[in-house]
A and B are shown apart, each in its own frame.
Chain A
Amino acid sequence: MKLKEIVKKLKLSVRCGENNLDRDVTGGCASDMLSNVIAYSKKGDVWTTIQIHANIVAVAVLKELAAIIIVQGREPADDTIQKAKEENIPLLVSKLSAYEVVGKMYELGVGRN
């Protein structure tokens, strides 16, 4: 599924990476522990988290993730947005909880990669 479809269907706000929404999402992961994401996420996953600091971008780059969805209405820190722009990682924001976001993505057919 294209990232832009997820953005549209889940009504996500795009904080950066508007030009990278055409990429394919092949699965997802949800965790707030960075090393857990490093261990279990797969290339092409969209990552759902409440973390907002710049290290999330480093993890997304490391694992070649498709995008990061920051949930519960949290906002990425300024340096996180800056780094995400440099690294071409779309940062998306939702008011919903991780549970709801993941549930909706499963409904759309985005399952485990």
Chain B
Amino acid sequence: MDKAFSQIYKIQGGNIYNAGKASTEIKSILKQLGINSFIIRRVAIAAYEAEMNVVMYAKHATMTFEVTPKQINIIVEDEGPGIADVSLAMQEGYSTATPEMREMGFGAGMGLPNIKRNSDSFKIESVVGKGIKLEIKININ
């Protein structure tokens, strides 16, 4: 499949205030490409939640953003603690956020479920102590 567009973002863990940069940029690129606004919203939500997860839990990550004629792919590979029980993390309401994060309104336990809800294909691979790989695909049509 031909790649119409591809971009790699580096995301640093730890700085909550800086978060949302990659997803904001992705959103504006998709607007420029003339993608339907419903699709843009799905991609932006998935990208934002993935970005927030890196910022809150991981050391750093690369986010690869690809637009092909048929779909939008977001691949996030982080270096961090990983998730011990992925099926638990996929349950709405389950969170390992710290009290500080919760006070700020993070840790609703809805990050991964929100990503899944807004994706057409969602894959997560976790290695405890190493990191997580997320593969998100969203169809354009």
| Chain A residues near B (Cβ < 8 Å) | 32-36, 38-39, 49, 51, 53-56, 58, 61-64, 79
Contacts and interface: CB of A to CB of B under 8 A. Distances in A.
A38 B49 contact: yes
B48 interface: yes
- Residue among A33, A35, A36 having the largest count of chain B Cβ atoms under 10 Å: A35
Contacts of A32: 105
Chain B interface bracket (under 10, 10 to 19, 20 to 34, 35 or more):
20 to 34
Contacts of A38: 45, 48-49, 110, 114
7 contacts: A32-B105, A39-B117, A55-B19, A62-B45, A62-B48, A63-B45, A64-B41
Q: Is the interface of A mostly helix, strand, loop or mixed?
A: helix
A35 B20 contact: no
Given A49-B105, A62-B41, A35 B17 contact: no
Contacts of A39: 110, 113-114, 117
Interface string B99-111: 0000011111111
Tell which of A33, A53, A54, A64 has the most Cβ of chain B within 10 Å: A33
Contacts of B105: 32-34, 49, 51, 55-56
A91 to B, nearest CB: 16
B104 A53 contact: yes
B44 interface: yes
A51 B107 CA distance: 14
Contacts of B19: 55, 58
Contacts of B121: none
